[in-house]
């Protein structure tokens, strides 16, 4: 018997003991093996815990409704669509990466107020030449595995795709263009005389902005719009919880706990497989 079947049998027994019997098991191939379990009842966190006990850190989606392809996809950028935190990489050009990265990590874990932490980090970059942004984009910023394929496949399926970030348009506009997002929302670094001033222009894009964008875009589609939200940090939690299917990508513990789906392998095309969509590119 294959190892996954042995583990599945053990997990079914575990769930049965918790009064959450598995009613049906189906397997699919969407370019990756997908095992689908149907339970009459079950607490989401308990199901995640059972998966962790018997399968470890595997990609999964736990839902109390039928899984459908989305009409809307809203994603975080830093450490989700791309493998970096842009402000940390930019800080390296000012010799401040360790100091700024420590603040970023605490903010993403929810240990600091996001807006305060953002303003503190941006202030530290005051005086940095704007050309460092172009260098950073070319030298440091790259998409996570499967990111472009995920977005382009969803575009081809007719879904609307939106990149919404607590990071900066200087980076997000390029990422959105390269990955073919329909819309991008983010923060704007203030520049004067070719240098960063250490301030931001306009309203701050933060956790509630991400949720507001999700709701706005879903409302434009219709009352029954099926949405996917994905992110990795504490400031993504409202968006993750507000989506029909919320995913945590290689996420901090708080974001992971809030999500229906978890991508632990690092391959973003697994979102497609879990939603029953075959890659279109």
Active site includes 88? no
Q: Which of 265, 273, 263 is closest to 229 using CA atoms? A: 263
- Rounded CA-CA distance 152/158 in Å is 10
Q: How far apart are CA 217 and CA 209, in angstroms?
A: 12
* Residue partners of 198: CB distance under 8 A and separation at least 6: 122, 123, 124, 125, 126, 127, 190
d(CA 226, CA 205): 23
In the set 59, 78, 88, 267, the catalytic residue is 78
**Catalytic annotation present for 76:** yes
CB of 83 within 8 A of CB of 77?
no
Catalytic residue of the set 3, 43, 76, 113: 76
- Interatomic CA distance for residues 205 and 115, integer angstroms: 9
Catalytic residues: 76, 78
């Amino acid at each position: 018997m294959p190892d996954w079947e042995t583990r599945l049998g053990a997990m079914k027994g575990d769930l049965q003991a918790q009064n959450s019997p598995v009613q049906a098991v189906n397997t699919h191939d969407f370019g990756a093996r997908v095992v689908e379990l149907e339970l009459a009842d079950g607490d989401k966190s308990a199901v995640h815990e059972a998966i962790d006990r018997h399968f470890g850190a595997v990609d999964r989606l736990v839902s109390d409704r039928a899984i459908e392809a989305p009409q809307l996809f809203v994603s975080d950028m830093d450490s989700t669509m791309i493998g970096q935190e842009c402000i940390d990489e930019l800080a390296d050009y000012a010799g401040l990466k360790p100091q700024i990265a420590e603040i970023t990590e605490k903010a993403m874990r929810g240990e600091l107020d996001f807006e305060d932490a953002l303003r503190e980090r941006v202030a530290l970059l005051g005086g940095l030449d704007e050309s460092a942004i172009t260098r950073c984009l070319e030298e440091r910023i790259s998409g996570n595995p499967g990111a472009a394929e995920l977005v382009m496949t969803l575009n081809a399926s007719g879904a609307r795709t939106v990149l919404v970030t607590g990071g900066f348009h200087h980076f997000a506009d390029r990422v959105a263009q390269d990955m073919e997002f329909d819309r991008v929302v983010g923060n704007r670094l203030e520049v004067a005389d070719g240098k960063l001033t250490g301030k931001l222009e306009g309203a701050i894009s933060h956790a509630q902005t991400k949720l507001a964008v999700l709701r706005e875009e879903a409302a434009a589609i219709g009352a029954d719009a099926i949405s996917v939200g994905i992110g990795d940090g504490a400031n993504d939690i409202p968006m993750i919880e507000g989506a029909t299917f919320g995913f945590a990508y290689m996420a901090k513990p708080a974001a992971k706990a809030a999500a229906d789906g978890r991508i632990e392998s690092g391959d973003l095309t697994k979102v497609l497989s879990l939603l029953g969509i075959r890659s279109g590119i």
